Amino acid sequence: MRWLATALFAGLVLPGAALAQNLVACGHPIYPPLSWDQDGELKGVAPHVVQHLFGELGYSVELAVRANWKRCLREARAGQVDIVVSAYITDERLEYLSYANDYVLDDPVAIFVNRERRFAFNTLEDLQHKTAGLLLGDSFGDQYDQFVRRNGRVEWVSSGEQNFAKLALGRIDYMPLGRETGRLQSLRLKLDTQIEPLPRSLTTEHYYIAVRRGGELERHLPYINRRLGELRADGSLSRLKLLYSRQYLAPQPQAPAHD
């Protein structure tokens, strides 16, 4: 990992002197390869990029792991964290977050189903009488969020493993999830033979770095925008996505057995 960070972020001219300051950032704890909690450490493309870009500006960034995504957003609203490493833009979040204009990753969102209970999906109305599994704090764009509020057939959970297990057991009808993160999670959970995405996407959203609205970090957003554009143009973001996808699927160390 260190060699990649050096290759991606070496040789930069920083935009003036920055304060020597510690920042706290949080992110989605179950959304590989974007970000995920691995043994109490926030890993993934977005934490990597945030830590390095704000490091270029002279800041030290603590990557805080929260129990769930909703808590991360709640603490951002309360001003208890400085940065959300990546989030969709929604009307509600714009009340307390300021976003970079350029994005970290795009996120085509699919409807994941049990292979034995697949159904035709073309419009939101096809989901009208079906039960969705959603993580606390999840959003899949304003249009779907409004549909969920009207439809009301949702089972909320705090972990992705719960949703995958319920879908495999037929206890929910579907879960919306980014195609790539759904693919990675189903592979890691060994449920890829039971769970699949439907062909048509629900939407394509984008994940953006966000800072506290009205805070001092807003002044750095033009720099963050420029650097994100450069990292996309030279292929660095694509390479990080591949690297962290592989890391997420790498065999996990087993806890020692006890007599």
Nearest to 43 by CA among 259, 252, 244, 240: 244
pLDDT at 62: 95
State which H helix or E strand residue 145 sits in: helix 142-151
Residue 18 pLDDT more than 50?
no
Number of H helices, E strands in the chain: 8, 12
pTM over 0.75? The answer is yes
CB 193 within 8 A of CB 219: no
State which H helix or E strand residue 222 sits in: helix 221-233
Q: Which residue has the tokens 């764009």?
A: 141
The C-alpha atoms of residue 72 and residue 133 are separated, in whole angstroms, by: 20
The C-alpha atoms of residue 90 and residue 191 are separated, in whole angstroms, by: 31
User: Residues 138, 141, 146, CA angle at the centre, nearest 5°?
Assistant: 90
Sign of CA dihedral 31, 108, 46, 83: negative
Each residue's pLDDT tens digit, 150-185: 887 899 988 889 999 999 999 999 999 999 999 999
pLDDT at 68: 87
The C-alpha atoms of residue 243 and residue 248 are separated, in whole angstroms, by: 9
Q: What is the mean pLDDT of residues 188-204?
A: 95
- DSSP code at position 44: S
Q: What is the mean pLDDT of residues 112-122?
A: 96
CB 65 within 8 A of CB 29: yes
Write down all domains in the chain, each with its CATH number in brackets: 2-7+21-105+206-249 (3.40.190.10), 107-205 (3.40.190.10)
